[in-house]
Amino acid sequence: MAGPDGRTAKDEQLDRDRVDPRGENLTTDQGVRVDDTDNSLQAGERGPTLMEDFHFREKITSFDQERIPERVVHARGAGAYGYFEVTDPLTDFTRADFLCDTSLRTPVFVRFSTVAGSRGSADTVRDVRGFAVKFYTREGNFDLVGNNMPVFFIQDAIKFPDFVHAVKPEPHNEIPQAASAHDTLWDFVQLQPETMHMMMWLMSDRALPRSYRMMQGFGVHTFRLVTADGRATFVKFHWKPKLGTHSLVWDEVQKIAGKDADFNRRDLWDCIEAGAYPEWELGVQLVPEEDEFAYDVDLLDPTKIIPEERVPVRPVGRLVLDRNPENFFAETEQVAFHLGNVVPGIDFSNDPLLQGRLFSYLDTQLIRLGGPNFPQLPVNRPVAPVANNQRDGYHQTRVHRGETSYAPNSIGNGEPTVAGPEGGAYVHYQERVDGNKIRKRSESFKDHFSQATLFWNSMADWEREHIVAAFRFELGKVTRPHIREGVLRHLSQVHGDLARRVAEGLGTEAPPSAPVHEESSPALSQANAPREDIATRKVAILAADGSDAVSLRTVKQRLSAAGALPEVLAAHAGTVTGAGGESIPVDRAMSTMASVLYDAVLVPGGDKAVDTLTSDGLAVHYVAEAYKHGKAVGALGAGRLLLSAAGLRDVAYAENGVRDDRGVVTQGEAGDASEDFCSTFASAIAAHRHWDRDVDAVPA
């Protein structure tokens, strides 16, 4: 619970662990002050270094060992602190107090990540994104370790090493980095049809999020909520971003990887620093135990969803991230998530992938973080009191008192004692389990294509075009024909039109297609995401000497008031001179940025400025590229000439007043930017992308 100043117990706990060397003398790890840290101790000015130089040895040893093994998967990540508040209590379904008590503000740490790449890879690659939340509840830590996609590639954890080995860079040459477009991954896919639903998600724009702040999250598995009297309800967890779910496009992500490999982590950091705190709504799908078999999918199958139209997502709380870490290594890199970290009122299902993860995550942390005491690291330490008989080991930071470290004992009064259910102890859900020891999957897991078809049926036309293009690109990188043929056979089971269009791009024939259903789930399409808010949207305003300073200032102020982040770009940093002699501050030099790093581009009026910009190939490219990527483009007065120079010849411009032609917003008359123009341009930005354009008519 937060105090009067808004600070939580986790904040106070972290205060005690902070070290700030400012104003202090340099010392060794033993607290001995150092007189020189630039020169090793040596025998004479040109003599050998002496091993008795304890400062040198300590300093270099620490440096030699300051890197720990990176995560096998999810190595590339970014994190932040925040809080969770329950808004619609789940009192009838669980005893977990952080989901029941509206007076609580539960501190959290959230880590976002890519799956396949190394720590040095780019943020914007085509990949699944991790969405892991550590709740520091007063009953102990609860880790909800999910992804930005609600399903996974495999059904049983025993296949996880195979999948990861297949998607990682190929072992003979360590190529390609952070990419799925290679033979080994698609060989696995063509031999493992259970991957097809997830591959549809991976080939969609969901694999290219605009930012972590505009990305959904899912718990993936079916869990259980359990009441104090032992009654259970199946639950699936959903995170929905307040800003809506939005994506980049393939051409953008490749360019951003070169322009700013830290695009997503920088975006998260900058928005929190600016006070534009990312926010998500936590929702749950609840299924009574008696309805476990009421659906045409098995709730234990992690490659399946329950469509929201059949089981609505019930909003229950809000997650807000409001503080950046102070040290990436100590916090973001050392945070240790584990699905086995649950609190009273939350339990597991028999999902075989979930069951395997319960072992794997703990096993991973033991080797990465050097032994069993990693929960004592500040970022991992619970705010709930810890008392047990675990002792010693690497990196033990507690100084245990007393003579006993075993149970039962009489010397230490039998303490620490077992609480029991009435004392808030965790009690596992009592489920009857029996059966023969076998290696066999349930028959209910064998439908590998119907939900892949559901996903395809649910997409808007532009989303389907992007999926087809993604399959063509990925399979076009595959060198072995039989692998491409195997994947096409799977695609023909998903939808004949999908298989045909992909095959055309590969210059081959599609296999005969199977009959498919026509069901759809509108909730799966990003075309149905909220599109009312422009908060944190970045707008590039192109300026030069002679720009209309009045209209530029007006539109910048109005966009900023709506929460957008407009920046003035020019050929150089510093200032440019407006048409009336005013000094216009320039936020960035155009050459240091790129249109792919913005959500929209605006060209103010001013004849002289527009003449300069139309002769600047970079300015012309800004407009053309933004248009081809479906982004909002605005022009005031003479600014329309730059749009024409960029090849936007199929656009109908406003001669008088304001006109919006598929997200290209223009104002014909000269002078100040009207309120109508600003609101129309803001609406065009809020729409995120405008895919009804003839983008192929515009030069790259």
SS3 sequence of 238-265: EEEECCCCCECCHHHHHHHHHHCCCHHH
Q: How many CB atoms are closer than 10 A to CB 607?
A: 15
How many angstroms separate the CA atoms of 492 and 485, rounded? Answer: 11
Cα dihedral sign for 426, 288, 337, 162? positive
Which of 390, 123, 415 minimizes the C-alpha distance to 252? 123
- Any residues with CB less than 8 A from the CB of 98 and at least 6 apart, and which? 84, 86, 104, 106, 135, 137, 138, 139, 142, 343
Rounded CA-CA distance 457/446 in Å is 21
Catalytic residue among 55, 74, 197, 495: 74
CA 593 – CA 584 distance, rounded (Å): 19
d(C-alpha 586, C-alpha 574), whole Å: 5
**Residues sharing a CB contact under 8 Å with residue 627, sequence separation 6 or more, in sequence order:** 633, 646, 648, 664, 693, 695, 698
Query: Which CA distances in Å does 117 have to 70, 171, 415, 621?
Result: 11, 14, 47, 31
DSSP-assigned beta bridge partners for residue 143: 134
The CB density around residue 355, as the number of other CB atoms within 10 Å, is 17
How far is Cα 676 from Cα 629, in angstroms, rounded to an integer? 25
Question: DSSP string covering 317-375, please?
Answer: EEEEEEE--S-IIIIIIT----TT---TTEEE---HHHHHHHHHHHHHHHHHTTSTTGG
Question: How far apart, in whole angstroms, are the C-alpha atoms of residue 543 and residue 651?
Answer: 22
- Cα separation, 320 vs 411, in Å, equals 47
Active site residue 409: no
**44 torsion bin: left (phi>0), alpha (psi -120 to 50), beta (else):** left
Q: Which among 604, 597, 596, 599 has a CA at the least distance from the CA of 570?
A: 604
Q: Per the structure block, which two tokens stand in for 370? A: 């050097």
- Rounded to 5°, the CA angle 461-148-287 comes to 95
* Residue whose structure tokens are 């980095």: 177
CA distance 315 to 581: 54
Residues 6+ apart with CB under 8 A from 372: 366, 390, 393, 394
SS (H, E, C) 399-417: CCCCCCCCCCCCCCCCCCC
| CB atoms closer than 10 angstroms to residue 153 | 29
Question: In Å, how far are 389, 465, 476 from 502, measured between CA atoms?
Answer: 60, 10, 10
**Residues 452-464: b if buried by 16+ CB within 10 A, e if exposed:** bbbbbbbbeebbb
Q: Which of 147, 341, 373, 380 does the annotation list as catalytic?
A: 147
Active-site residue flag, 147:
yes
User: Do residues 549 and 578 lie in contact, with contact meaning Cβ atoms separated by under 8 Å?
Assistant: yes
3-state DSSP assignment of residue 633: strand
Active site residues: 74, 147
